[in-house]
Amino acid sequence: MRWCRKDIMTTVLHNARLIDGNGGEPVDDAVVVIDDGKITYAGPAGDAPATDGATKVDLGGDTVCPGFFDVHVHMSLPGTKGSPIMAAMVPPSYRYFQLIDRLKTTLEAGVTTVRDLMGVDVGVRDAVAHGLIEGPRLLVADKMLSQSGGHADFHIPSGLDGTGVIGGKLVDTVDEARLEARELAREGVDVIKVASSGGVSSPNDDPDFLGAREELVSALVEEGHNYGGRPVAAHAIGLPGITAAIKAGVRSVEHGYAITDELRKEMVERGQFLVPTLLETLKPDTATPQAVAKSEKWHKIAQDSIRKSVEAGIKIALGTDAGLVPDHGDNLQEMGLLVKFGGMTPLQAISAGTKVAAELCQVDDKLGTLEAGKLADVVVVKGDPSKDIEVVNDHANIALVLKEGVVKSNRGGYAF
């Protein structure tokens, strides 16, 4: 007979409102059964299997959701607590210790998986995976690639070169792009990040600039495909960069503000994802005046553009650029903006942060919804986010966070 410590092996969350991430109406009086880190049942209490001897946790009518994703973060950057240039003022090892609090804050905010699109390497991903430090599960890009003078180029006017410090890498020829993609694949990154347009925070360009021409992006897409099926994520704000990204066949367009109706249609046909990052607006006290002016202009365009992208039926995943501008832990505020500016229903916004994000990250076989067979990444929210999505903005309402069935935060004080 197998010795079974039932208090650890099986947990039953009951007296809950269930939002499973698939976009359907919530189920009142639901039960979620977790066995050895995996969900074995999520649905109405009336249909739940017998669970004698399990640990039963009364959620008091609160809402149980899948663990959330933020598919565009920069854990290496400080958010509103500083500026990217401050990263250049400390040794690299010091920056690793700064990650500890950011990772924990993000996890406790209900985000159990992040895709870091520049600035941390596979060692951080693996340290979290192996339990050396607490944090959300990571997928990492490590470097961001662009042409010289593009968004990854952080030569500042004084002549100092901050490119390597922020995680940028310059590629100007197809051969250089192929080599860099192969080196990143050798390192073991999950995704290849390119900036096909200029940027808001970069010192030498503008979002309307083409930051990596189509043949470079195509070469990255091809090499990523050949070396382990790695997808490409393209930072693309202005139209030339968005066009190059879509035509080259990237998996996701990050930002995508100046997209046209014709390109929206093409994204739908190609099955590409859009990550709108509506939350970021540079703050005058931590950014240069030029960057703040660019930010204000482009975020107006973003807010006007997102509704048409939602209506066109593009697959939209939640991403925020947390660390560059929004603070780590503010990630889920993006859902309120997807509702406000994108015209999504709260349940659609929740799917953008769960099911669709998991599809983008190619982990939807094990994450993104609360269904039997998936890993038990579970977030309990006080209140009903299907009626008022902004309840998630208050961290006090992120009442319980489980990652693979293990309690990572229990602000709600539920009795286990």
Which residues make up the interface to Zn ion (CB under 5 A)? 321
Tokens of 314: 């593009």
Q: Least Å distance between CB 24 and Zn ion?
A: 32
Minimal distance, residue 167 CB to Zn ion, in Å:
10
Distance of alpha carbon 271 from alpha carbon 191, whole angstroms: 17
Residue by residue, what is the 3-state secondary structure of the chain? CCCCCHHHHEEEEEEEEECCCCCCCCEEEEEEEEECCEEEEEEEHHHCCCCCCCEEEECCCCEEEECEEEEEECCCCCHHHCCHHHHHHCCHHHHHHHHHHHHHHHHHCCEEEEEECCCCCHHHHHHHHCCCCCCCEEEECCCEEECCCCCCCCECCCCCECHHHHCEEECCCHHHHHHHHHHHHHHCCCCEEEECECCCCCCCCCCCCECCCHHHHHHHHHHHHHCCCCCEEEEECCHHHHHHHHHHCCCEEEECCCCCHHHHHHHHHHCCEEECCCCCCCCCCCCCHHHHHHHHHHHHHHHHHHHHHHHCCCEECCCCCECCCCCCCCCCHHHHHHHHCCCCCHHHHHHHCCHHHHHHCCCCCCCCCCCCCCECCEEEECCCCCCCHHHHHCHHHEEEEEECCEEEECCCCCCC
Nearest residue (CB) to Zn ion, 321 versus 377: 321
Nearest distance from residue 119's CB to Zn ion, in Å?
9
- Closer CB to Zn ion, residue 118 or residue 363? 118
Distance CA 70, CA 354 (A): 9
Closer Cβ to Zn ion, 62 or 70, answer by number:
70
Q: Which is closer to Zn ion, CB of 18 or CB of 291?
A: 291
State in angstroms the smallest separation of the CB of 118 from Zn ion.
6
Nearer to Zn ion, 62 or 321 (CB): 321
> Residue 135 or 326: which CB sits closer to Zn ion?
326
Cα–Cα dist 198/130, whole Å: 36
Would you say 79 or 412 has its CB closer to Zn ion? 79
CB nearer to Zn ion: give 12 or 210.
Answer: 210
Residues 181 and 261: their CA atoms lie apart, in Å, by: 31
Q: 38 or 283, CB closer to Zn ion?
A: 283
Shortest distance, CB of residue 347 to Zn ion, whole angstroms?
27
Shortest approach of Zn ion to residue 323 CB, angstroms? Answer: 8
Work out how close the CB of 229 gets to Zn ion at its nearest, in angstroms, rounded to a whole number: 23
**Shortest distance (Å) from residue 338 CB to Zn ion:** 18
Chain residue at closest Cβ approach to Zn ion = 321
Task: Supply the minimum distance, in Å, between the C-beta of residue 221 and Zn ion.
Answer: 19
